[in-house]
Structure 1
């Protein structure tokens, strides 16, 4: 375009305005300014995408200009700082696959002396979780901190910010109140489930002691009477045993293992109460289906078979509805159990000299 203008108007190359600039110099300055404005808008869009976890926009920007990786906001924070502050796991994993760019982002420190591990130790914004369950949230926060800790140089783990606080000190100070709430919450849940477990144990023992016994082996519904006795005794025995184990788990949470709430105490209580959940859920399923059905068949032998079919259906439906209504709680319990098993499994395998890399659990 500049060449065509020069061909038509040769004087543009020498004519100057009041600032001493030629027309071509003004045109060049306007193009540079447009590029700067476009770059600033793109950088702002990149930071917003990182904050909201918009992977599609970030991939497009990275393909357009990978150098935008190194841009910082007015607080001196780069893309990785913003990602970690907002707990955007998908963006975090995307950055980890960027090789040399990732290494440079990890080493960056913002204007207040915070490295990425300091920011991982900050408490996440509450609006990310809605109405959080504190014990799950604090466990997810600790896993997030440990995951970020894996990618920082050793010296960054003890680096102090402008407030003379190391990343671990930031983490414990930020999560102190959450830790206290989690301990109180865990003790309340354990007390409630302890009552349920005690009730199940008393019902199971009462049924075990009051069921009639005889030496006959007549034919009953599906199985012989002796088989139903075996099913009843085994189901009650296993169900009551699981309840007793869950009671021990809940009791250990209620009794103080530490005089001051801390992250280790929370995680220990969380592990015990999680396994207590699993044991009592399994006990309800066993006692609700196998013990109830076998007990009814052994007591009411004089009734027609169709009544037993109705009872079997009712027991199955009621137990299934129990698990359906608790679907979210069960799903979170299973995920948390897997995370705890993964955590302790990795610790044991690491001590044995094995290097295992598993994808961590986070509370999204």
Structure 2
């Protein structure tokens, strides 16, 4: 039903554009499409913008009350789907590389402004919010002319100066979010390190007093315990060190683009591995101690082992997924269609 309604809406829009083109004087076109195309731009409705411009090409030059055209309005409102239409444009897109608004702001100045709250709020965590803002700034920086990066507006501000000024509070919030997250997980990593280290020097069943060899050394379950405990120890120490490196980081703006998210991703993944390995080692210990006389204990051990692991995945996976996708895999910019646009 949703797809059908969507197709019907596009058909209605096309019919409306055709009607305007055939029934209205050309000089009056703007009266009908100006508000519509600007609102579609703000709402990131790229198909609406694409359809209107395909029938009424001059709609591309629509401006709002502040004198911003569609592409400038796209950058201000962080409408990435409409922005991607630039990749489908002909040489006309070169106009936007040097265009400035009435206040002397070029396109990069507009990218340096803080995004509207409705665009930032859906992004979880201040660190990911500042990362998205940096991604926008870098994308527009690649598009505009190189001289635009040092061009000043009427207030004497370069794009980088404006970005720092507008995002000062968000960077501070991102730093607090990162530090709070790292501090919380540092305690967990330290506890796991302590537990698995203690388990390594006090092996289950003890050791032979004459040879010093563990009593259960020939058991498969002991091998599982030893390997799991070693993995847990090494990964928990790695996680602890990564979290500590976050706490001592300088938290510069540019660090939120790759450096800090990468550290947090590595820390969380190694913490998950260490937690899983620790639970496996504990399960192997229980089986070594009680398995011979109570063989039925293997089934509940396996079930209970899955409980904390699945809980960790359920609770922390959304954060890890958002970090990984936002940092490495989610390309919000780029050519999405081979269809020409203006």
TM-score range, shorter chain: 0.7 to 0.9
Corresponding residue SS for 2:143? coil
- Equivalent of 1:295 in 278, 285, 299: 285
State the match for 1:57 in structure 2. 48
My pick for the range that moved more, 157-166 or 131-140, is 131-140
Corresponding residue SS for 2:65? coil
State the match for 1:243 in structure 2. 236
Matched, 1:334 2:327: no
Does the CA-based 8 Å contact 1:78-1:105 persist in structure 2? no
Distance of aligned partners of 1:337 and 1:57 in 2 relative to their CA distance in 1, 3 Å threshold: closer
CA–CA distance in 1 between the matches of 2:214 and 2:177?
52
State the match for 1:345 in structure 2. none
1:34-92 residue CA offsets vs partner (Å, 9 max, x unmatched): 55444222121111101100122112112212232123223221111111111111111
Matched, 1:114 2:105: yes
- Equivalent of 1:254 in 244, 247, 251: 247
Distance of aligned partners of 1:250 and 1:216 in 2 relative to their CA distance in 1, 3 Å threshold: closer
State the match for 1:146 in structure 2. 138
CA–CA distance in 2 between the matches of 1:195 and 1:151?
44
CA–CA distance in 1 between the matches of 2:245 and 2:333?
25
Does the CA-based 8 Å contact 2:291-2:297 persist in structure 1? no
Matched, 1:86 2:42: no
1:252-290 residue CA offsets vs partner (Å, 9 max, x unmatched): 2223x44xx5313545444323321221122112222x2
- Equivalent of 2:192 in 186, 193, 200: 200
State the match for 1:19 in structure 2. none
Matched, 1:189 2:181: yes
- Equivalent of 1:231 in 220, 224, 234: 224
State the match for 1:128 in structure 2. 119
RMSD, aligned CA: 2.7
- CA drift of 1:242 comes to 0.9
Corresponding residue SS for 1:150? helix
Bigger relative contact order, structure 1 or 2, given CA contacts below 8 A and separation 6+? 2
Corresponding residue SS for 2:134? helix
CA–CA distance in 2 between the matches of 1:296 and 1:138?
47
- Which is greater in Rg? 1
Does the CA-based 8 Å contact 2:236-2:274 persist in structure 1? yes
- CA drift of 1:336 comes to 4.3
State the match for 1:17 in structure 2. none
Q: How do residues 97-108 of structure 1 correspond to structure 2 at under 5 angstroms?
A: 97-108=88-99
Does the CA-based 8 Å contact 1:275-1:337 persist in structure 2? no
> How many residues matched?
305
CA–CA distance in 2 between the matches of 1:181 and 1:87?
20
State the match for 2:165 in structure 1. 173
Distance of aligned partners of 1:216 and 1:118 in 2 relative to their CA distance in 1, 3 Å threshold: closer
Does the CA-based 8 Å contact 1:190-1:253 persist in structure 2? yes
Does the CA-based 8 Å contact 1:118-1:167 persist in structure 2? yes
Does the CA-based 8 Å contact 2:236-2:271 persist in structure 1? yes
Matched, 1:209 2:201: yes
Corresponding residue SS for 2:219? helix
- CA drift of 1:111 comes to 0.7
CA–CA distance in 2 between the matches of 1:78 and 1:361?
20
- CA drift of 1:106 comes to 3.0
CA–CA distance in 2 between the matches of 1:32 and 1:107?
36
Corresponding residue SS for 1:163? coil
State the match for 2:340 in structure 1. none
